[in-house]
Structure formats: structure tokens, C-alpha cells
Amino acid sequence: MRHHRWFRVLALLLPLLLLAAACGGDDDDDDASASASEPSTETTAASEGEGEGEGEGEGEAGDLTVGLVYDLGGRGDQSFNDSAAAGLDRAVEDFGVEAEELEPNEGGENREELMRLLADQGTGLIFGVGFLFTDSITAVAPDFPDTTFAIIDGFVDAPNVANLGFAEHEGSFLMGAAAALKSTTGHIGFIGGVEVDLIKKFEAGYRAGAEHINPDITIDVSYITQPPDFAGFNDPARAKEIASGMYEGGADVIYHAAGGSGGGLFEAAAEASQQGDSQVWAIGVDSDQYNLVDASLQPFILTSMIKKVEVAVYDTIERAANGEEVAGVTAYDLASGGVDYATSGGFVDDIASQLDELKQQIIDGEITVPDTV
């Protein structure tokens, strides 16, 4: 699975390059901008089965130390950060690497400081979990050429940086299709954490998938915050307020791409279903959120768009532990198993064959999923 063509990698990277340019200077300590020149190394992600089954326990970690700096919300967000944490935990268990975990302050202004702290300590492999680390790693990586940095959802053109990108729009297409197939009102919704290019990839795919099933479907869209305010990724109260309004307005399925804010959507779905005359649904993101929430909320989570951040983290640590080169570009898409849909709860069992058919059509190139709205 390590022979994807450049056009797929470049297609995954283009929105990240645009986002890196758009988000420059978001944080006081993150003033450097990522270069948009062509990356020097290309790798295509192995499937989850390859990442989780091959070589477990066989890697020689030696003196490898790993640092992981979470995005806002940190470990325990039941979404993006927890997925990264799961990959780290499994790598620590399998390879015996030493690991340190850090979390930015509430505004995220100290991302660069935390990256430098880990590098100064001699940490061999340092992850920045999220595109907001683009400027920090751009600034820090040249000062520590013997340290390898890895960024999830961002792009930094440097010889010691591993760029781990995902085809969120492809997975979101399946979420839109599921929403349209399950909706009884012909009215669905989307909640984004912050209105930036990366999150609009989720919206673009979701919208395309829903309209593929029902061209006349109504789609409500709302973003919790606008840059440079990135609190929208950790504001469940506001997400609940937005979701409640959408449900009251007639939407019966809502998908979120809002990180830790998603908990508010799930609460709104439970309350709207319990207070109304019919079931409404929420769709999770990044992790299989059905398995992460309180049992009282599980009956209202239709599915989740699984973005296998844990596989990206684990695979990168595994390769580093085995002495392999990890810098460059790794692309995680439907074809490689990097994104997918969840089946926990059994709520999409009746439409799974349709979703699988759409999934295969995307992999075969019969359906091209847009990554911009």
C-alpha cells in the first residue's frame, strides 16, 4: 500500500497548504509561516490492519523518546486528542518508548514554548496534534535538526518533519450519505468548531454525500467561532445551543467537526429525542464516539467519521522505533483505511451496504469528493 501516486498526496495537502497560509500568526508565539513548496518525501499510509498487526512488539525502540503536545482540550476530549492518545498508549506498550504528554494553555499561545521544551530535553520524536502547530513547528524544527517533528493535519516543508494528512472530505461524504438516508424530514445539519479551510473540508464532503442521496435536502451549517478565536473546538455549551436550535428548526441528523465541543451536540440530541415525538440523531467525528460517551448518550449517536489519528501516531512511532525514516508526507484516505465510518450501536446496519458501495466508488475514482464548499 506504499505506492499511491503524487496526485492523491497533493490533493490531500492542498487544503493544508492553504490553511497554513491563512492561519499564520494566529498565536502570539507562532509567527512563522509554513512554506508551500513541494515536500521532499512521499509515503502512503498503510491500512489500519497493517498499522496495528505488523511488527507489534518487534520494534527496537532503543533510546527513543516521544513527546506529544495535544490540541486544545487535551487528553479526555473524547475526540481528536483522545485518538492521538490511544496511538501513543499502544506504542508505549508495544515498543517500550518513553513518552511525555503536554497540553497548551487555554488560548494556545504557548505551543512553540512546549515544542522547544521537549526538544531542549533531547526528545527524539515530537508530535503536534493539529494544524495549529504549523507555525510552531516551522519555527522550532530548523533549530533542532537532529529531532524529528510530526504534525497532524498540517504541513511544514522541512527535512526533519513528518506531515500526517487525512482525507476528511472522503469520510465526511459517507456521513452526509448516512444522514440523508436516515433523515425522515429531508433536513440535516453541520456544526464546525472554527470556520477554517480544514474544517470546511468536512462540510464539503458532508454536503456532497447528502446531496448525492437527496439533491433537494436542506442542510443547516453553523460554525462556533471564527479565527483567530479557536475556542470553538472546546465549547460544548455553545455546540449544544446551536444543535438545539437546529433540531427545533426541523433538522433530524446533525454532524459535528468540532473536537471537544461535540459533547454538547450529543446532549442536545438526547434532549430533543426525549422531549419530542421522534428520534433525532447526532454524528460523531475523529473517533468512534459511541464508545467514548456516557451510556445515556449512546442511543443518539448514529455513526462517526473515524479519522484514524491513532494509526498515524502509532505507525510513525513504530517506524521511528525500527530506525526508519519518518519525515516527509504520509496520506491517510479511504483507500488506505485512514478514514472510515463507525458501525457501533448498529444504527447504520440497514444502510451499510449502500455506504460500502459509495465507499468503493470513491476508492475506485468513480466518485470524486470535493474538498471545498
Is 356 inside any structural domain? Answer: yes
Least reliable range by pLDDT among 41-45, 81-85, 166-170, 184-188: 41-45
Contact in structure between 269 and 239 (CB atoms under 8 Å): no
Is 281 inside any structural domain? Answer: yes
**What pLDDT shows up at residue 61?**
53
User: Cα separation of 292 and 13, whole Å?
Assistant: 30
**What pLDDT shows up at residue 26?**
41
Residue 37 reports pLDDT greater than 70: no
Residue 310 reports pLDDT greater than 60: yes
- How many whole angstroms from its chain centre is CA 13? 14
The CATH number linked to 173 is 3.40.50.2300
What does the pLDDT average to over 167-196? Answer: 98
153/173 same-domain check: no
52/72 same-domain check: yes
Angle between helices 197-213 and 6-22 (to 10 degrees): 130
**What pLDDT shows up at residue 62?**
60
Query: 88-102: per-residue pLDDT in tens?
Result: 999 999 999 999 999
User: Cα separation of 15 and 200, whole Å?
Assistant: 9
Is 52 inside any structural domain? Answer: yes
Is 373 inside any structural domain? Answer: no
297/203 same-domain check: yes
What does the pLDDT average to over 5-28? Answer: 41
19/99 same-domain check: yes
User: Cα separation of 84 and 86, whole Å?
Assistant: 5
With cell 494509526, the residue in question is 311
Q: Whole domain around residue 291: which residue ranges?
A: 168-307+339-363
Residue 49 reports pLDDT greater than 60: no
- How many whole angstroms from its chain centre is CA 24? 20
Confidence band, pLDDT 50/70/90 cuts, at residue 295: very high
What does the pLDDT average to over 11-22? Answer: 43
Query: 106-160: per-residue pLDDT in tens?
Result: 888 999 999 999 999 999 999 999 999 999 999 999 999 999 999 999 999 999 9
68/174 same-domain check: no
Residue 338 reports pLDDT greater than 70: yes
- Determine the Cα angle at 62 with ends 87 and 3, to 5°: 55
232/242 same-domain check: yes
Q: What percent of the chain has a predicted confidence (pLDDT) above 90?
A: 76
Is 1 inside any structural domain? Answer: no
User: Cα separation of 7 and 368, whole Å?
Assistant: 13
352/207 same-domain check: yes
* DSSP tag of 304: E
**What pLDDT shows up at residue 271?**
97
**What pLDDT shows up at residue 29?**
40
Burial class (CB in 10 A: 0-12, 13-18, 19+), 154: buried
Query: 62-97: per-residue pLDDT in tens?
Result: 689 999 999 888 898 888 899 999 999 999 999 999
Q: Euclidean distance between the first and final Cα of the chain, in Å?
A: 30
Query: How many residues can be counted in the chain?
Result: 373
Is 368 inside any structural domain? Answer: no
Residue 27 reports pLDDT greater than 80: no
Per DSSP, the three-state class of 245 is helix
Confidence band, pLDDT 50/70/90 cuts, at residue 54: very low
User: Cα separation of 189 and 254, whole Å?
Assistant: 4
Closest by Cα among 79, 83, 49, 75 to 301: 79
229/134 same-domain check: no
Could you tell me the CA-to-CA distances from 44 to 2, 63, 164, 337 in Å, in that order? Answer: 5, 27, 10, 11
194/279 same-domain check: yes
53/196 same-domain check: no
Is 258 inside any structural domain? Answer: yes
Strand pairing category for 253-257 and 281-286 = parallel
- Write the single-letter amino acid at 359: K
What does the pLDDT average to over 46-73? Answer: 62
DSSP string covering 190-224: EEEEE-SHHHHHHHHHHHHHHHHH-TT-EEEEEEE
Could you tell me the CA-to-CA distances from 371 to 138, 178, 200, 238, 362 in Å, in that order? Answer: 25, 18, 8, 26, 13
314/222 same-domain check: no
Residue 318 reports pLDDT greater than 90: yes
What does the pLDDT average to over 222-241? Answer: 96
Q: Is the peptide bond before 236 cis (omega within 30 degrees of 0)?
A: no
Confidence band, pLDDT 50/70/90 cuts, at residue 290: very high
321/188 same-domain check: no
Q: How many domains does the chain have?
A: 2
Is 27 inside any structural domain? Answer: yes
Higher pLDDT, 38 or 213: 213
Closest by Cα among 62, 103, 111 to 317: 62
- How many whole angstroms from its chain centre is CA 236? 18
